[in-house]
């Protein structure tokens, strides 16, 4: 089934292909990878190599085509328009005003359109903050911890630190009451300081929604990662587990129900037997695509590589690209390519093998199946596996207890008193 061209050069909506998700995420990058910063670990800068000399901004024509197709491709009554970069604020306020007007023009009656944007925060001022507040934007702010930890890698193009600018942007968001999330990468510089990072976000920044993202960065050739080694900015697998466990120990004693840490919420859902709500720790994926500034759609923001190009929305409708057999297979591959070692893992229900982008190591020497067969050296194991395993084992007892509380109709937050008593005297893990 192919989208037809209409008289205005647009692509007419096809019937949504069977098997296409009723709703999906699509991260649109209106500036491509263009950014005013030059963060040492940024993988988006690699995607620039795919588009040398290409127009560096999304055109108005493409903007309308994208928003119309995004809305047409959704069968669910809610649709989220999600902007990312690069640095999307480089587009200027007018671009986003046009996007809002177009969403209003194309939304079906009864449809709810939400808006989110991921930014490094350095360009946020009162005008931006008012705009976000007035239009209900959810703002994801990249912030790696207190000054020294943040500035370790998050620098501008001249190599200058960015902490003060980001904090000014955050102050504007808070002053205007904008809903915001902290998006904090965990890398070689901050990984040994979980409690310091977490307390900074909670106490100094007032964060109530926090996402931790592990930096796993491999060398690339023409934008495509290769090999089994990682750069020295990457978090080590054990560090990732220790970091999460360290934050968890602080959170479970005083912040349950108050501070939302995505990883803990996802874990609780998996322990409780509900959908995790995060692709990385779900059995399959494939419903989180990426749109480049020229209309190219890729399987995922982490697979902006020629082999994962699904097509261009100027030639084929987004509904077709999202529901294409290749994209559905991409999502199933997350499950189908799990090594045997994962299939027999006792925390697979919580982990699901992590993100395929990080599955480039081999199973360890001595790995055995339950029947005694050697599973050593199998390819396709997640680089972060030892960290996942340690973390999920670490939180098993409190997760079970929170599930008991939930099943009894009680609040999981009750665990705070109990956990504090049960664990009295034990040192906070991973403390700073
Ligand atoms: S490849 Fe990774 S980030 Fe992309 S959709 Fe799958 S699990 Fe999510
Ligand atoms: S913890 Fe390791 S072995 Fe277990 S499912 Fe996750 S990646 Fe696989």
What's the CA-to-centroid distance between 5 and ligand 1, angstroms?
Answer: 31
For residue 333, indicate whether it is catalytic.
no
Catalytic residue among 144, 242, 296, 301: 301
Contact 163, 191 (CB under 8 A): no
Q: With a 6 A CB cut-off, is 334 part of the ligand 1 pocket?
A: yes
Q: Which ligand is nearest to the CA of 327?
A: 1
Ligand 2 atom nearest residue 347's Cα? 4
Which pLDDT score is estimated for 9? 42
Pocket test for ligand 2, best of 352, 354, 380 (most atoms within 8 A of CB): 354
> End-to-end alpha-carbon separation of the chain, Å?
57
Higher model confidence: residue 38 or residue 131? 131
- Using pLDDT thresholds of 50, 70 and 90, give the confidence band for residue 56: confident
> With 90 as the cut, is the pLDDT of residue 204 above it?
yes
Which pLDDT score is estimated for 47? 61
Please provide the DSSP assignment of 318-342 as one string.
HHHHHTSHHHHHHHHHHHHT--HHH
- This prediction has a pTM of 0.91
Q: With a 6 A CB cut-off, is 170 part of the ligand 2 pocket?
A: no
Which pLDDT score is estimated for 378? 93
- Using pLDDT thresholds of 50, 70 and 90, give the confidence band for residue 46: low
Q: How far apart are CA 408 and CA 428, in angstroms?
A: 29
Higher model confidence: residue 86 or residue 414? 414
Which pLDDT score is estimated for 427? 37
Which pLDDT score is estimated for 255? 97
> With 60 as the cut, is the pLDDT of residue 209 above it?
yes
pLDDT exceeding 90 applies to what percent of the chain? 77
Please provide the DSSP assignment of 372-431 as one string.
S-B-TT-EEE-TTHHHHHHHHHHTHHHHHHHHHHHHTT--GGGHHHHHHHHTTTSPPTT-
| Helix, strand, coil percentages, rounded to 5, for the chain | 40, 15, 45
342: exposed, middle or buried (C-beta count within 10 Å: 0-12, 13-18, 19+)? Answer: buried
> With 80 as the cut, is the pLDDT of residue 221 above it?
yes
Q: With a 6 A CB cut-off, is 353 part of the ligand 2 pocket?
A: yes
Contact 13, 319 (CB under 8 A): yes
Higher model confidence: residue 418 or residue 374? 374
Answer whether the bond into residue 290 is a cis peptide, omega within 30°. no
Element (H, E) at 291: strand 288-291
pLDDT in tens, 334-388: 999 999 999 999 999 999 999 999 999 999 998 888 788 899 999 999 999 999 9
Q: How far apart are CA 365 and CA 98, in angstroms?
A: 56
Element (H, E) at 300: none
Q: With a 6 A CB cut-off, is 140 part of the ligand 2 pocket?
A: no
> With 70 as the cut, is the pLDDT of residue 72 above it?
yes
Which pLDDT score is estimated for 347? 98
pLDDT in tens, 226-261: 998 999 999 999 999 999 999 999 999 999 999 999
pLDDT in tens, 262-303: 999 999 999 999 999 999 999 999 999 999 999 999 999 999
Average pLDDT of the chain, as a whole number? 90
């Amino acid at each position: 089934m192919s989208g037809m061209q209409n008289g205005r050069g647009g692509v007419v909506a096809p019937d949504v292909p069977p098997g296409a998700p009723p709703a999906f995420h699509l991260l649109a990058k209106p500036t491509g990878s263009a950014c005013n910063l030059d963060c040492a670990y940024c993988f988006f800068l690699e995607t620039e190599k795919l588009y040398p000399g290409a127009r560096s901004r999304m055109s108005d024509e493409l903007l309308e085509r994208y928003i119309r197709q995004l809305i047409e491709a959704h069968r669910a009554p809610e649709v989220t328009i999600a902007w990312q970069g690069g640095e999307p604020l480089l587009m200027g306020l007018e671009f986003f005003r046009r996007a809002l007007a177009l969403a209003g023009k194309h939304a079906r009656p009864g449809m709810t359109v939400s808006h989110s944007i991921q930014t490094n925060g350095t360009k946020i001022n009162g005008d931006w903050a008012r705009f976000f507040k007035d239009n209900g934007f959810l703002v994801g702010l990249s912030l790696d911890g207190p000054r020294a930890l943040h500035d370790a890698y998050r620098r501008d193009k001249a190599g200058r630190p960015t902490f003060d600018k980001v904090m000014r942007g955050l102050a504007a968001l808070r002053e205007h009451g904008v809903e915001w999330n902290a998006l904090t990468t965990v890398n070689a510089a901050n990984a040994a300081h979980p409690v310091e990072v977490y307390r900074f976000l909670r106490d100094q920044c007032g964060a109530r929604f926090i996402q931790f993202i592990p930096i796993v960065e491999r060398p690339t050739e023409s934008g495509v990662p290769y090999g089994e080694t990682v750069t020295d900015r990457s978090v080590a697998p054990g560090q990732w587990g220790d970091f999460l466990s360290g934050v968890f120990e602080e959170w479970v004693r005083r912040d349950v129900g108050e501070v939302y840490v995505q990883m803990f919420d996802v874990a609780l859902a998996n322990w409780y037997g509900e959908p995790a709500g995060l692709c990385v720790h779900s059995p399959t994926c494939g419903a989180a695509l990426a749109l480049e500034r020229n209309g190219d759609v890729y399987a995922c923001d982490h697979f902006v590589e020629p082999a994962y190009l699904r097509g261009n929305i100027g030639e084929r409708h987004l509904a077709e690209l999202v529901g294409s057999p290749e994209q559905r297979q991409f999502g199933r591959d997350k499950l189908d390519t799990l090594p045997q070692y994962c299939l027999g893992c006792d925390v697979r229900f919580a982990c699901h093998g992590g993100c395929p982008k990080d599955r480039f190591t081999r199973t360890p020497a001595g790995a055995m199946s339950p029947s005694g067969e050697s599973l050593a050296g199998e390819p396709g194991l997640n680089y972060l596996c030892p960290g996942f395993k340690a973390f999920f084992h670490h939180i098993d007892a409190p997760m079970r207890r929170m599930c008991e509380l939930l099943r009894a109709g009680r609040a999981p937050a009750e665990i705070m008193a109990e956990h504090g008593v049960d664990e009295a005297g034990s040192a906070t893990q991973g403390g700073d």
